[in-house]
């Protein structure tokens, strides 16, 4: 399917690896020029060069911590005028409900709620002025069904979800859509780190932790960054203009619910 977005320009945050990279790859395959971001400059440049080589699109890189306000200002300047925004950052650490103090919550809110909101506030006006735009926020299945060990994520991402629900409906009449993609478990470094935590807590190997988790998913396996990126690129396509303010689960059926 031709996604109809060849020649458009996108900012994809936290995209040297994992789900962000999956989104960058799928957009590049659709002919979208990119601004890619991550903290580590070497992995970022390597990922960018790979996409230039494979898809012939223009790829700029901007290495910085997207959750840091001052650093993010430079990224926003670099990305000025983008028609597509994919927000993403690392997820908060796991723990128990009683573990976290105010500073832990502030860090999680900064990374997984206030950063995507700041990016939208900065870049939506340009999209609205141009009469076309697409925003996809990478959140988590934890906004539909809480993950007990990820209380910081449950809290921060639900706040973002509330903001998007209202904002998406205020910008849709300018041709701009905002939607959230909710990953369940995907085979990325983040999954390795979550499985390592389970392995340590239960005294089992990482492979056993992974097999145990995969068995709890109706699809019987982890998702891939390619599948995730394809869903993101579709939401950014010309065909998705009537999909507004939605929260789309990509979890292999793991969240047990009817609607």
Interface with ligand NAP by CB under 6 A: which residues? 14-20, 37-40, 43, 65-67, 88-91, 138, 140, 183, 185-186, 188-191
CB of 243 to ligand NAP, least distance (A): 20
For ligand NAP, the closer of residues 2 and 99 by Cβ is 99
Among the listed residues 216, 45, 235, 63, the one whose alpha carbon sits nearest the alpha carbon of residue 139: 235
By C-beta, is 44 or 171 nearer to ligand NAP? Answer: 44
52 vs 213 by CB, closer to ligand NAP: 213
Residues 6+ apart with CB under 8 A from 86: 10, 11, 12, 13, 15, 20, 23, 24, 27, 135, 136, 137, 138, 232, 236
246: Cβ contacts below 8 Å, ≥ 6 apart: 179, 180
In angstroms, what is the minimal distance from the CB of 31 to ligand NAP? 23
Three-state DSSP class for residue 38: strand
Distance CA 84, CA 9 (A): 6
Q: How far apart are CA 184 and CA 186, in angstroms?
A: 6
CB of 66 to ligand NAP, least distance (A): 4
Q: How far is the CB of 84 from ligand NAP (least distance, A)?
A: 18
Q: Which is nearer to ligand NAP, 90 or 171 (CB)?
A: 90
Least separation in angstroms between CB 171 and ligand NAP:
24
């Amino acid at each position: 399917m031709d996604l109809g977005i060849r020649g458009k320009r996108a900012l994809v945050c936290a995209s040297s690896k994992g789900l962000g990279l999956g989104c960058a790859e799928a957009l590049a395959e659709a002919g979208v020029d990119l601004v890619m971001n991550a903290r580590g400059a070497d992995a970022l440049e390597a990922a960018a060069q790979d996409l230039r080589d494979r898809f012939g699109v223009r790829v700029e890189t901007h290495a910085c911590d997207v959750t840091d306000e001052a650093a993010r200002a430079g990224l926003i300047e670099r990305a000025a005028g983008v028609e597509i925004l994919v927000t993403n950052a690392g997820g908060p650490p796991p723990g128990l409900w009683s573990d976290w103090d105010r500073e832990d919550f502030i860090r999680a809110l900064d990374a997984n709620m206030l950063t995507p909101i700041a990016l939208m506030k900065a870049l939506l006006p340009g999209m609205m002025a141009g009469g076309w735009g697409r925003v996809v926020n990478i959140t988590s299945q934890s906004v539909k069904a809480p993950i007990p060990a990820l209380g910081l994520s449950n809290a921060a991402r639900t706040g973002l979800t509330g903001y998007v629900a209202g904002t998406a409906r205020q910008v849709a009449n300018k041709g701009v859509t905002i939607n959230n993609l909710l990953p369940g478990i995907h085979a990325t470094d983040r999954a390795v780190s979550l499985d390592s935590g389970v392995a340590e807590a239960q005294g089992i190997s990482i492979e056993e932790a992974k097999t145990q988790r995969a068995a709890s998913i109706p699809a019987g396996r982890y998702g891939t960054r390619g599948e995730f990126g394809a869903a993101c690129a579709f939401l950014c396509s010309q065909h998705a203009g009537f999909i507004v303010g939605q929260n789309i689960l990509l979890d292999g059926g793991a969240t047990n619910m009817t609607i």
